[in-house]
Structure 1
Amino acid sequence: MSDRRQPVLGVLGGGQLARMLAIAGAPLGVQSLVVDSSSDACAGQVAPLVVADWHDHAALGEFAAKVDVVTFDFENVPADTAHWLAERVSVFPNPRALAAAQDRLAEKTLFRECGLATPEFVPVDTRADLDRALAVTGAPAILKTRRLGYDGKGQFRLRSADDADAAWAALGAQAAAHGLILEAFVPFERELSVLAVRGRDGEFRTWPLTRNWHTDGVLSLSLAPAPDIDALQPRAAALARTLAERLDYVGVFALELFVKDGELLGNEMAPRVHNSGHWTIEGAHTSQFENHVRAVLGLPLGDTGARGASLMFNWIGELPDPAPLLRTVDGHWHDYGKRARPGRKVGHATVCAPDASTLLERAEALAQVIGWEQPVAAVREAVGI
């Protein structure tokens, strides 16, 4: 009988991403230990949970002593917490990568340094700055908090310069604490994301480009592989590699992109596994979650190729009846174990097929039962039907 000790993965944050990391690690013989400030964090249903504040050094010290490596469930873990832990245990991705993705100004600046074009952007700290920034970006534009924004939060769209007072009233109070950034609005043609993984030895892989649709700033649908993007895949992969090597990144990350006039523009980088990569659980040879676990523990990376075509859709606010999806051929249901709440991601579902036309047939059949036409319209548009 082997006495080899199972490695322990420490995860900061106890949401659905930590939950899926723990599930993905179990077949590899990897145990998980999760830290979150909430006692009902949903990852605690599948892995031991330490309830602690991000600045509770006593609890974090005990946590660090029990794990082999630490990673993140979300990017808003305080940078000083990440640095403190990195002095005691290996932390991947490294705190520098985390800090770059936490600040939209630093992030956009990094993109341009790596050769990735972005919409015009200007830092904003005062009401007068906002007027000066509008003179640079023009309108429409989007005023955003530099930190702590996600899923459309911390943003205000200005349709014209006349909206400046309303935008400042909505977000100006956050300027002193975190700073703001004004970004030119991009009349993009498509939203894409490239999911990438880099190992501790520098090995690098990407999954096929994913096409995404958002509703009220929250991801609603992802289709992979994105149709008609063969010319963009090498460019997206090269940009992701440049970013990863610049940051000495280890683990999975998502690079969100706009397509405008056939060119890629950088929107955001998520230094973690990402919602638009959930389709990889059933639709790729190796999921983003398994490859993240492999990467941070120094294991060989798995094949990131797609098995066919996949459509992933989020359940926001509450879960519908799972029966129709479960009756669908190659349909997969994921309940995050969260309490229902307006605007909250409570689960997702994925439908897979050997090709896009079969995927459309399955989405159409499902839509007839659940009464939701968006997946069908999205796939029809994407495949040109």
Structure 2
Amino acid sequence: MKRIGFIPLRKGSKGIPNKNKRKMVGRPLFTWVLGEAIFSNLDVVYVYTDDESILEFIAKEYHWTDKVKGLLRSDESANDNASTEFAMLEFSESINYDFDTFCLLQATSPFTKREDINTCLNKLGNEYDSALTVVNTHRFLWNENGTPINYNPLKRPRRQDFEGLLIENGAVYTVTKEAFKKNKSRLGDKTAIVKMADESLMEIDTESDWIAIESLLIERQKREKESKKITHVVLDVDGVFTNGTVAYTKDGELSKNFDMRDGMGLEILRQFNVEIMVMTSEDSQLVAKRMEKLKIENVFLGVKDKYTLLNKIILDKGIALSNVAYVGDDVNDLTNICSVGWSLAPNNATSIVKEHADIVLSKDSGAGAIREACQFIMNYNKRF
């Protein structure tokens, strides 16, 4: 049985310019749901967009998996008047309906998790031909004519005694191929409901919405953190190994400065069976050479979606985020900073990272910050 995910993206956005690509907690908005879809029970995930820069991003960023495919959608399916169903049908015809289950995922629903996707997939069977995600709202609703919709105002219930209403949050829809072809809709004739958290009902239409949702995502990631023995350390490079500056000539990158004491700290840390990994958004041969000198084998260059790659690494290694310490300095490190067992930031890191890191080191980057981080990890691990 082939289960496909479908994430439709459009280039334009009236309320928030470039919304789908804008960084939410340091990651492009659409990668929140895409990353979860990769680790769900879907067999393949299609990103259907008229934005060629997104297609280029996907081809470069997710080369480590054959599960993600980017497809260029037509201008007709991406205009303001085209429905999502129109795009779904256009796409399905282009692949000759090569699926058994269709899963529509909305990029503007960053609270979606792999468990939500899997639950919707699992609902399909003899009883249901489609499923959707909802939120149970306990709001009291009214019509414009002044009549109540979902309660008797003369017998106003207490919130804890009020069943409320179920409202679509637009995050996940699953439907069988047969029902989709019959109804030409994301829903079939018998629909199951899957409840998600209250915050997933929020829309991203204004700057205020963006700020509120970003804050909630940060708090969710931090709330799920656990602290266990540190078995792996992941480090950014520019602004962690170095002071964040680089010398350039007309021929390109010339030099970066590294602190030798940091290298010694990592060598000592390895003697305590802590594995060292490097993850940087820059694709630098200087960095590659320096890490080769330090005998660091797991070096990931040119990474923009660091959180999704980190999730792949922990799955491959059979560990948890709680076994990872992360050292980063800038906004593209922020999701990892908020998610791992222990996060550390150099003293000269950006304010947003220092605000959310577990430890702000006393040393600056390129001036002993990594050595200090290594000492903290060794001291911390003694309790285990």
Do these two structures clear the TM 0.5 threshold for a shared fold by scoring above it? no
Taking CA–CA contacts closer than 8 Å with sequence separation of 6 or more, which of the two structures ends up with the larger relative contact order? 2
Greater strand share, structure number = 1
Provide TM-score, normalisation by structure 2.
0.29
**The structure with more radius of gyration:** 2
